Chain A
Amino acid sequence: MTAMDSNEDFDEAVVRPAELDPEADVPGISRRTMEICISGLLVLLGALVLVDSYGIGAGWSEGLGPESGYFPSRVGWIFLALSVLVLVQAVRRPSDEVFVTVPQLLQVVRVLVPLAVYVALIAPLGIYVASALFIAGFMLIVGGSRWFTIAATATLLPLLAFWVFELQFQVPLPKGPLEMALGY
């Protein structure tokens, strides 16, 4: 792909902290390990599909034609075969490439953990309060914003969402004790 290569000449618009440079010599998970793990998981998944499909019947029934497991089981076999193929390819692959470096992984975790906490808070607190906490938390973690910017963003964006979804489109979103107290 010569077209792709030529893109490397003008990279200066992207400011990358030194420790996130993929070329830098930092520890990480190798791509080969990751390929093997994922294709291994897919093989397991394929096996599960087959167990379920044959469990509910993958043959022919008089009157109904193909049973409900007929189609998934066929797809399951193809899936299993391809997963094994990719697994073999992964095992035979040289282990030079890095899938993700530890600093990169930390960056991703810094987003994923707040996101998971956010989703967990939606049921007890309602989506608006949870969103406010999430936005504030996220901006604190990423850093670089002054406290009143954070406070303003975290209040205004959920209010805007409330106006758009609840008042304009009349889509009911999960609400919590605060909305209850306010009479919605």
Chain B
Amino acid sequence: MENIQALMQGFELALSMHNILYMILGVLLGIVVGVLPGLGGPNGVAILLPLTFGMDPTSAIILLSSIYWGALFGGAITSILFNIPGEAWSVATTFDGYPMAQQGRAGEALTAAFTASFIGAICGVLLITLVAPLVASFALRFGPAEFFAVYLLTFCSFIGMGRENRGKIGISLCIGFLLAAVGMDSISGDMRMTWGSGELMRGFDFLVVVIGLFGVSEILMTVEEGLEFKGKNARIQMTVVLKTWAQMPRHFVTLVRSCAVGMWMGVTPGGAIAASFMGYGLARRFSRNGPNFGKGEIEGVLAPETAAHAAGTSALLPMLSLGIPGSATAAVLLGGLMIWGLQPGPLLFVEQKDFVWGLIASMYLGNLAGLIIVLLTVPLFAAIMRVPFGMVAPLILMVCAIGAYTIANSIFDIWLMLGFGIVGYVFKKLDYPLAPMVLALVLGDRAEEAFRMAMLGSGGDVGVFAANGLVSTLIVFALTLLLWGPISDLMARLRGKVATE
């Protein structure tokens, strides 16, 4: 009851004139960011973050989270019209979306994708509204040891649930931690891994790393393939929209299934990318129209889009209630909280009520605004893709460079961005996942601090991580997730051996 009241107050805050303007601006920018290759959710938010330093935190997060919603919507446009996923999470949308466009059903595919996204997002927000306050009030009892255990759980579930080589996920996490450690140690004041360089004393700013890893590297990948865009025309007529909406109830089961998958994958840091593939795969297996998948089946668009958005939205649940982001973009937003002077974690729900509920209310409104805007403006954004790449690429790189510079007014950071661009390019091609690195970079210092406080409190006794039921359950759960993959591999191999003998 109390929460509903708080949410209503949040709506009041989010519905103020300038916040609505920020929301619309954010969604529009987000769609541009989602449509253009080389600018995505994480680095779109990273580039704009420095511009919000002086803003009121609530307005700032409304602007930035709206960019996130816009990017989630925008990714679908290029997937369907150009068969080029604007974002990794919309790869699965190309499988059926592009064939539909080829058959002249682009409007139907786009409407389906946007509506599915909206439904997924609203499910995610509902989950946040209902569950986040409970998680936060539960987490108020956490001490440093419990927090470290939750961090450990996050990192282990990355390794356990990732689709890449587990060694490489682990390496990516470790690099994130080590990058976070560079610079002055906040507890002792010692210089760590600076090798006498004055520039490294500040450490690596995660925003610079994100812009390089996700922005510059993406451009390099795009030129390597020598892409030229040649797309289908798009115009969405109101009748098509209504006809597609009328079909929605028929696909109820698919939508519910994808929502569930997405919410689960978002809360545990599996992320929107894995969720969209899982949503697609499950729909294909269980749908009556399964054999038509890949040939332009509307369910093949609905399933991944719903799952991706449900995951993308749910990723903010652990970020708000525990201070642990569920995706790379959520990690960037979390970094933003710290820059605006808010302490992420369960106390946020107690101390920053206005901020939290304003944000949650803006999630409902932002997604609604996003749906309307995106349905109205598709032709406009499809036109962006007709601008020659030779013009778009330097513009994106210029924006990246400006973004990297404004974080700390340092030209050295632009060089770092370039370096991380090359690292990101090589890592992507070798299947080292980048999201764990960003997550570990953002959380590294906090995880280390929790660990050191816990150890200090116990006088150096590692037993503090098994001292009570809560912390030992978390640790056991984390280790189970970590070892789940190798053990199930081993069991499969053993079973295979038995079968062949």
Is A151 at the interface (CB under 8 A from chain B)? Answer: no
Per-residue contact bits, chain A 22-56, to B (CB 8 Å; 1 contact, 0 not):
00000000010011001000100000110011001
Q: Are B388 and A144 in contact (CB under 8 A)?
A: yes
Q: Which residues of A contact B167 (CB under 8 A)?
A: 82, 85-86, 89
Per-residue contact bits, chain B 91-112, to A (CB 8 Å; 1 contact, 0 not):
1101100110010000000000
| CA of A31 to CA of B426, assembled, Å | 11
Chain B interfacial residues counted at CB < 8 A: 78
| CA of A9 to CA of B188, assembled, Å | 58
Q: Are A127 and B401 in contact (CB under 8 A)?
A: yes
Q: Are B415 and A17 in contact (CB under 8 A)?
A: no
Q: Are A119 and B451 in contact (CB under 8 A)?
A: no
Q: Which residues of B contact A56 (CB under 8 A)?
A: 190-192
The minimal Cβ–Cβ distance linking B350 to chain A, given in whole angstroms, is 28
The minimal Cβ–Cβ distance linking A138 to chain B, given in whole angstroms, is 4
Q: Are B226 and A107 in contact (CB under 8 A)?
A: yes
Given contacts A13-B83, A20-B225, A145-B391, contact A3 B98 (CB under 8 A): no
Number of A-B contacts defined by CB within 8 Å:
201
Is A161 at the interface (CB under 8 A from chain B)? Answer: yes
The minimal Cβ–Cβ distance linking A32 to chain B, given in whole angstroms, is 11
Chain A interfacial residues counted at CB < 8 A: 76
Is A181 at the interface (CB under 8 A from chain B)? Answer: no
Per-residue contact bits, chain A 159-179, to B (CB 8 Å; 1 contact, 0 not):
001000100010111100000
Q: Which residues of A contact B224 (CB under 8 A)?
A: 20, 100, 104, 107-108
Q: Are A171 and B398 in contact (CB under 8 A)?
A: no
Q: Which residues of B contact A10 (CB under 8 A)?
A: 83, 98-99, 102
Is A183 at the interface (CB under 8 A from chain B)? Answer: no
Selected from A31, A49, A82, the residue in CB contact (under 8 A) with B170 is A82
Is B126 at the interface (CB under 8 A from chain A)? Answer: no
Interface residues of A in 63-99 (CB under 8 A from B): 64-72, 75-76, 78-79, 82-83, 85-86, 89, 99
Per-residue contact bits, chain B 407-444, to A (CB 8 Å; 1 contact, 0 not):
00101001100100010011001100000000000000
Question: Which candidate, B2-10, B133-141, B276-284, B333-341, is the interface stretch facing chain A?
Answer: B276-284
The minimal Cβ–Cβ distance linking B7 to chain A, given in whole angstroms, is 32
Given contacts A65-B456, A72-B193, A139-B391, contact A157 B220 (CB under 8 A): no
Given contacts A66-B455, A112-B422, contact A7 B95 (CB under 8 A): yes
The minimal Cβ–Cβ distance linking A100 to chain B, given in whole angstroms, is 7
Q: Which residues of B contact A122 (CB under 8 A)?
A: 401, 405, 411, 414
Q: Which residues of B contact A149 (CB under 8 A)?
A: 391
| CA of A15 to CA of B229, assembled, Å | 7
Q: Which residues of B contact A161 (CB under 8 A)?
A: 398-399, 402
User: In the complex, what residue of chain A is closest to B398 when comparing beta carbons?
Assistant: A131
Q: Are B226 and A13 in contact (CB under 8 A)?
A: no
Q: Are B83 and A135 in contact (CB under 8 A)?
A: no
Is A147 at the interface (CB under 8 A from chain B)? Answer: no
Q: Are B230 and A173 in contact (CB under 8 A)?
A: no
Given contacts A38-B426, A134-B398, contact A67 B280 (CB under 8 A): no
Q: Which residues of A contact B460 (CB under 8 A)?
A: 60, 65-66
Q: Which residues of A contact B192 (CB under 8 A)?
A: 52-53, 56, 68-69, 72
Q: Which residues of B contact A72 (CB under 8 A)?
A: 177-178, 181, 192-193
Is B240 at the interface (CB under 8 A from chain A)? Answer: no
Given contacts A134-B398, A172-B409, contact A70 B452 (CB under 8 A): yes
| CA of A108 to CA of B222, assembled, Å | 9
The minimal Cβ–Cβ distance linking B189 to chain A, given in whole angstroms, is 8
Q: Are B84 and A13 in contact (CB under 8 A)?
A: yes
Given contacts A13-B98, A52-B192, contact A135 B398 (CB under 8 A): yes
Q: Which residues of A contact B216 (CB under 8 A)?
A: 115
Query: Can you name 20 extra interface pairs (CB under 8 A) apart from A111-B223, A165-B402?
Result: A9-B294, A14-B84, A20-B225, A52-B193, A56-B192, A65-B452, A71-B448, A75-B181, A79-B175, A82-B170, A86-B167, A100-B224, A100-B429, A108-B224, A111-B393, A115-B216, A161-B402, A171-B50, A171-B51, A174-B411
- Chain B residues with CB under 8 Å of chain A are 50-51, 82-84, 91-92, 94-95, 98-99, 102, 165, 167-168, 170-171, 174-175, 177-178, 181, 185, 187-188, 190-193, 195, 216, 219-220, 223-231, 277, 280-281, 284, 293-294, 388-391, 393-395, 397-399, 401-402, 405-406, 409, 411, 414-415, 418, 422, 425-426, 429-430, 448, 451-452, 455-456, 460
Q: Give 18 pairs: A residue, B residue, CB < 8 Å, sorted on A.
A: A3-B277, A13-B82, A15-B230, A35-B430, A64-B456, A79-B178, A100-B224, A108-B220, A108-B425, A110-B223, A111-B220, A111-B223, A115-B216, A135-B391, A138-B394, A161-B402, A169-B51, A173-B402
